[in-house]
Amino acid sequence: MTVPAAQDSAARESAAVAGRGSGDAGDDRAFWRSKTTIGTAVYLVAVVAVLFGGSQFTLYEGTLIATYGIVTVAQDWIFGRAGLVSLGPAAIMAVGAFTTARLSTEGWGFFPVPLLISFVFGGVIGLLIGIPGLRFRGLYLMLTTLALQFIISFAAEQYQGVNREAGFTVTPPTWGSLQLANPQPLFLISVILLGLVLLGLSGIHGGAPGRAWNAIRQNEAAASVLGINLVRWKLAAFIGSSAVIAAAGSVYAYQIGQVQYTTFSLDLSLTLVVMVFIGGVGTLIGPIIGAVGVVLLPQGIQEISNLFSGMPSVSGWLQLNEGIVADGIYGLLLLLLLIFERGGLVAIGQRLGRGAVAAGRLAVRASAPRIRRTNAPSP
Amino acid sequence: MSNDVATIVINGLVNGCIYALIGVGFVVIFRATGVVSFAQGAFMVLGAEIFASLVNDGLSTGPAAILAAGGAFIFGGLVYWLAFSRLTGAEAFITSVATVGLGILVEAVVLLIWGPAIIVIPQLFSYQVHHLVGQLGFSNIDLFAMAVTVAVFAVVLFGLHRTPVGLRMRAVANNPRLAVFTGVNVLVTSTLAWAIAGLTAALAGIVYLVGTQPDPGSIYALGLAAFPAILLGGFDSIPGTLVGGIIIGLVQATVAVYVGGAWQDVVAYGVLLAVLLLRPQGMFGSPQVARL
């Protein structure tokens, strides 16, 4: 490698000061190749494809994935970045959902008012959870959130009361003549919200807050010694993630139309937790991949059962027990991933990708003609 | 003694015994391998379903219970051997989330094999009531529950404190590295710990099944409902878990009689929160478990 010529160094220096590195075409390439840009592009393509080309069912599933995605990304915020595990996301969703349902029927349903109010209530709940959370992390926090899941679920049950077995109906929001709870608008709302959350979080995680949470996750004592205010950052993580989860609950309420306490059970909470770990804790796409996997798995099983259409007993059994088989697969997958590949599906994908690239390189090298080197390499 | 109080005492004791049976296995796992297991409910369901199948096929109660518990014993050991031994040294919440995954998997398998309906077994105990203390009338089922609990605790405590195997388990629980240096096979001892947990949970499931006629989901949920009792007693105390179980059982029974059955679980979880906030190590737990 030759030593760079002297006249470039001045240009490089000024470019470095301006914060753009040694400004040349390679730098723009770096921007286009960066994960954020590619990710955003893929996201936009996927959204447009589903929005305009998807059937009602696809739109429904897409909205569900986006809604769960918001929750899982928020959970990754507290698990993967700050090291605080919560077993109660469904309960926080319930807060947003019930708030939205009641507001929509009491005349406060103008979108996005219920969403914003749910966001605020979620933040309040986050503050309440955060206070005991300051004392514990890991296990005791899990138990605290488990207790809160039950308590909030019970409170919702009491609030729903004996008279409303079917729960609260959500009056669909309208903007003039536009019905916002229809598949397409709702899908758009959910993906916009998810996009905002992703943008916000990628910005925060990349900056000082992200480093603070990372430090707290790795070693609280050391972080505190370094001057990181544990109380402030832990509370921030709880309040922020709970607010976001409650907002997701609000969108969920619009989607399901009928809000009952039974929907927001421990089962849903555990499913949401499983999504984060299966996809890959500590990344932003991981939780979303987890959400995609979990939402689409039952359909995958349907497809597999169709493969067995020649054996009606097998395919019939699969179709009948779709949900349970899916649950079993999640449990098994979670266990296997935690033992063998903590990074989740994202890490497996990366490994496969690297393997493919390496294999590709080997193939290219093997097929390229041998080049005779005439210049000795400079010292 | 009024009827209400009698009901409270009897139900409280019996439910407390079930919590204690779940808890003793939990504490053994926790002390030996440091894992906070959310999967006790899964072992309970397995034991209960195997027992039900055996009993429905004509086997009598005793042998069926022994076989079912034995099956859970083997299963618990296998779970550790194959899966959790590879998670040694992982952060606490990773292993706990892994137990959640295990629980989901086992629950799914149980539902696929036996179905989600209420587990039906023939009547195994007569409804004869024994008036032991004043107006407290214990049915045969109640006595069965309490007898099993007493037996299990006696065997476990005796085993831990008076046998070489127990000594090794306590060594591993106390200081795994040092135990290795003194020649204790940590893998075997930990496997044994998990096997014992599976066995006691299975017995808890069987006792619960015989007393009520639950569906698998309810049995599984009980595994989580035992946490208030375990925490109250102290995560690493075996006698504590018995005391904690009985206290929670009595508290829940009192709430059921005077406030309403639906409030039982909430009150128990309220106690759990109170314990966490006020005295995390519970009544008899060691100080090390105050900050998990």
Residue B1 pLDDT class (50, 70, 90 cuts) = low
**Strand boundaries in chain A, DSSP class E:** 168-169, 174-175, 178-179, 258-259
Write out the two tokens for B131: 């008036």
Q: What is the pLDDT of residues A44-71, one digit of tens each?
A: 888 888 888 778 888 888 889 999 999 9
Which has the closest alpha carbon to A186: A292, A41, A51? Answer: A51
Lowest mean pLDDT among A129-133, B204-208, B247-251: A129-133
Domain membership of residue A322 (yes or no) is: no
Domain count, chain A: 1
In chain A, whose CA is at the least distance from the CA of B270? A147
Is the CB of A138 less than 8 angstroms away from the CB of B103?
no
% of chain B exceeding 70 in pLDDT: 99
- Per the CB < 8 A criterion, the answer to whether B186 and B172 are in contact is yes
Contacts of A142 in chain B (CB under 8 A): 36, 93, 96
Chains A & B: contacts with CB separation below 8 Å: 114
Q: Does A78 touch chain B (CB under 8 A)?
A: no
Return the HEC string of chain B: CCHHHHHHHHHHHHHHHHHHHHHHHHHHHHHHHCCCCCCHHHHHHHHHHHHHHHHHCCCCHHHHHHHHHHHHHHHHHHHHHHCHHHHCCCCHHHHHHHHHHHHHHHHHHHHHHHCCCCCCCCCCCCCCEEEEECCEEEEHHHHHHHHHHHHHHHHHHHHHHHCHHHHHHHHHHHCHHHHHHCCCCHHHHHHHHHHHHHHHHHHHHHHHHHHCCCCHHHHHHHHHHCHHHHHHHCCCCHHHHHHHHHHHHHHHHHHHHHCCCCHHHHHHHHHHHHHHHHCCCCCCCCHHHHCC
User: Tokens at residue B260, please?
Assistant: 């309403």
b/e map B11-34, b = 16+ CB within 10 Å:
bbbbbbbbbbbbbbbbbbbbbbbb
Angle at B191 between CA B148 and CA B234, to 5 degrees: 55
Beta bridge partners of A179: A174
Q: Of A140, A150, A330, which has the smallest distance from its Cβ to B292's Cβ?
A: A140
Q: How far apart are CA A275 and CA A270, in angstroms?
A: 9
| B98 with A339: Cβ contact below 8 A | yes
In this complex, the residue of A143, A328, A334 whose CB is nearest that of residue B112 is A328
Using CB atoms, which residue from A135, A274, A339 is nearest to B86? A339
Handedness of CA B170, B171, B172, B174 (dihedral sign): positive
pTM (predicted TM-score): 0.85
Is A138's Cβ below 8 Å from some Cβ in B?
yes
Q: Which residue in B105, B262, B265 is closest to A332 by CB distance?
A: B105
Domain that holds residue A190: 33-265
Asked if B112's CB is within 8 angstroms of A325's CB, the reply is: yes
CATH of B3-290, picked from 2.40.10, 1.10.3470, 3.30.465, 1.10.390, is 1.10.3470
Judged by CB atoms closer than 8 Å, whether chains meet at A334 and B100 is answered as yes
Residue to substitute from B87, B218, B263, B266, interface A, most A β-carbons within 10 A: B266
Q: What is the pLDDT of residues A76-89, one digit of tens each?
A: 888 887 778 888 89
A265 at B interface, C-beta within 8 A:
no
Which residues have a Cβ under 8 Å from the Cβ of A34 and sit 6 or more positions away? Answer: none
pLDDT of A372 reads 63
> What are A1-15's pLDDT values in tens digits?
444 444 455 544 444
Q: How many other CB atoms are found less than 10 A from the CB of residue A225? A: 9
CB-closest option in B87, B96, B109 to A142: B96
Binary contact (A143, B97; C-beta < 8 A): no
Tens digits of per-residue pLDDT, B68-121?
999 999 999 999 999 999 888 777 778 888 999 999 999 999 999 998 888 888
Contact (CB<8Å) B112/A324:
yes
pLDDT band at A29 (very low <50, low <70, confident <90, very high): low
Task: Give the whole-angstrom CA distance, residue A122 versus residue A66.
Answer: 19
pLDDT given for residue A14 in this prediction:
47
Q: Crossing angle of helices B186-211/B164-174, nearest 10°?
A: 100
Which burial class, exposed, middle or buried, applies to A285 when counting CB atoms under 10 A from its CB (0-12, 13-18, 19+)? buried
Q: Where in chain B are the domains?
A: 3-290
Using a CB-CB cut-off of 8 Å, the residues of chain A touching B266 are 150-151, 154
Whole-angstrom Cα distance, residue B18 to residue A46? 52
Least confidently predicted of A163-172, A328-337, B211-220: A163-172
Contacts of B38 (CB under 8 A, 6+ apart): B96, B99, B100, B103, B223, B224
Please say if the pLDDT value at position A18 is more than 60: no
Q: What is the ipTM of this complex?
A: 0.88
